[in-house]
């Protein structure tokens, strides 16, 4: 390395330089990180009371019944936040 590196050594020994491996020439990419501090793009953010805000007893009863049905089935009652689906770049996964 003190003499100019691998490429310089190929020239000094008058040897053809091998091609650079494709894995070294490809650009790595990661998903774009969007930080939404206000929650405008995330529908799972808290926006106020939903069930109790309804004045209609029929719609409140249907919403409570639906929530109880989801709880019995073991489903989550809330939506997933965008941050929960974010994967850190280069965290053990390779991106094409």
pLDDT tens per residue, range 29-42: 777 777 777 767 77
Domain-located, residue 87: no
Q: What is the mean pLDDT of residues 7-18?
A: 88
The mean of the pLDDT values for the chain is: 76
- Residue 49: domain span: 6-76
**Residues 77, 82, 84, 90: what is their CA dihedral angle, to the nearest 10 degrees?**
160
Q: What is the pTM of this model?
A: 0.34
| Region of 46 on the Ramachandran plot (φ > 0 left; ψ -120 to 50 alpha; else beta) | beta
- The residue with greater pLDDT, 9 or 47, is 9
Domain-located, residue 26: yes
User: Which token pair is 15?
Assistant: 């040897």
Domain-located, residue 47: yes
What does each C-alpha distance from 52 to 33, 34, 35 come to in angstroms? 35, 32, 31
| 75 band by pLDDT with thresholds 50, 70 and 90 | confident
């Amino acid at each position: 390395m003190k003499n100019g590196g691998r490429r310089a050594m190929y020239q000094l020994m008058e040897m053809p330089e091998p091609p650079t491996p494709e894995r070294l020439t490809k650009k790595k990419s990661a998903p774009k990180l969007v930080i939404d501090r206000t929650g405008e793009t995330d529908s799972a953010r808290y926006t106020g009371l939903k069930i109790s805000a309804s004045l209609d007893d029929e719609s409140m009863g249907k919403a409570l019944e639906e929530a109880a049905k989801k709880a019995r089935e073991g489903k989550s009652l809330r939506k997933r936040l965008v941050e929960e689906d974010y994967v850190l770049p280069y965290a053990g996964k390779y991106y094409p």
